[in-house]
């Protein structure tokens, strides 16, 4: 099957907060964004705000937006990708950061592969990747676990399982939480994990208030900090020394 008459699905990273465009995005992305007039977005308001910040030249009302997020399970993907199938280039935009890491964009991308639509990823900020490289924890072997269970006993159990993987496989464990619950998660981590395990908290990545710190659970216990309402990535790992 040829894909000559089909469009390209561009994966367009957005900003992680109110950071300057030129700090987080290559100028090529802006060129691509300006060449497109159809978008599949996780959230229409934030996508419009992002495109305005990118100084898209067309009037924003002349653009087509297809909403696709966790509430879109009943939406027929075929209607969303009609433009792509008919030869239009379409941009997939996540609410923050890279599409399809922690949002349902993956389904759109699988559809593209199944239909021989070319997928081109653009470079941009990923809080998970930036947290990982800044942590100093093992980057040769790592796992991202998304959100942990909400209930404390289940969460403590999962945290201990992840800590076991850290020590047995030297596999760095990453996870996230809804920002207003960050301190409750931190409390559980300090309760569940061994004093010698290393914890990195990376919050407000790429923003002026960026904070990234790796230290042992023992050190975190003696130096309490609050991360509530600041988007953060949490990482467990062990010392390279």
| Among the listed residues 35, 64, 141, 225, the single contact to a copy of itself using CB under 8 A | 141
Candidates 56, 93, 112, 185: give the one binding a copy of itself (CB under 8 A): 112
Q: What does the angle CA 37 – CA 40 – CA 42 come to, to the nearest 5 degrees?
A: 135
What is the dihedral angle through the alpha carbons of 223, 137, 197, 102, rounded to the nearest 10 degrees? 80
Q: Is residue 137 a contact partner of residue 198, using CB atoms and an 8 Å limit?
A: yes
Subset of residues 166 to 185 that bind a copy of itself, contact rule: CB under 8 A: 171
Residue 162 Cβ vs a copy of itself, minimum distance, rounded to whole Å: 12
Name the residue nearer to a copy of itself (CB basis): 61 or 70: 70
Q: What residues have CB less than 8 Å from 53, skipping those under 6 apart?
A: 15, 21
For residues 10 and 91, the answer to whether their CB atoms sit within 8 Å is yes
Residue 241 sits in the site that holds a copy of itself (CB under 8 A): yes
- Residue 121 near a copy of itself by CB under 8 A: yes
Which member of 44, 63, 85, 109 binds a copy of itself (CB under 8 A)?
109
50 vs 60, beta carbon nearer a copy of itself: 50
For the record, the structure tokens of 68 come out as 């696709």
Nearest C-alpha neighbor of 102 from the set 54, 195, 174: 174
Instruction: Give the interface with a copy of itself as residue ranges (CB under 8 A).
Output: 11, 20, 22-28, 98-103, 106-114, 119-121, 123-126, 128-130, 132-146, 171, 200, 205-206, 210, 212-215, 239-241
């Amino acid at each position: 099957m040829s894909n000559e008459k089909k469009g390209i699905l561009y994966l367009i990273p957005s900003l992680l907060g109110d950071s300057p465009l030129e700090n987080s995005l290559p100028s090529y992305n802006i060129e691509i964004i300006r060449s497109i007039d159809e978008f599949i977005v996780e959230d229409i308001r934030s996508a419009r705000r992002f495109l305005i910040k990118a100084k898209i030249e067309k009037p924003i009302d002349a653009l087509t937006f297809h909403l696709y997020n966790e509430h879109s399970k009943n939406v027929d993907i075929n209607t969303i990708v009609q433009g792509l199938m008919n030869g239009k280039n379409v941009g997939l935009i996540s609410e923050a950061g890279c599409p399809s890491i922690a949002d349902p964009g993956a389904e759109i991308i699988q559809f593209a592969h199944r239909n021989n639509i070319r997928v081109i990823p653009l470079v941009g900020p990923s809080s998970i990747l930036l947290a990982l490289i800044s942590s100093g924890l093992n980057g040769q072997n790592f796992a991202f676990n998304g959100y942990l269970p909400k209930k404390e006993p289940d969460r403590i159990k999962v945290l201990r399982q992840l800590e076991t993987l850290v020590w047995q496989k030297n596999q760095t464990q990453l996870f996230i939480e809804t920002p207003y619950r960050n301190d409750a998660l931190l409390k559980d981590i300090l309760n569940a994990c061994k004093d010698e395990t290393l914890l990195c908290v990376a919050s407000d990545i790429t923003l002026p208030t960026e904070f990234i710190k790796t230290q042992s659970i023992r050190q975190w216990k003696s130096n309490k900090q609050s991360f509530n309402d600041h988007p953060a990535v949490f990482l467990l790992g062990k010392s390279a020394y």
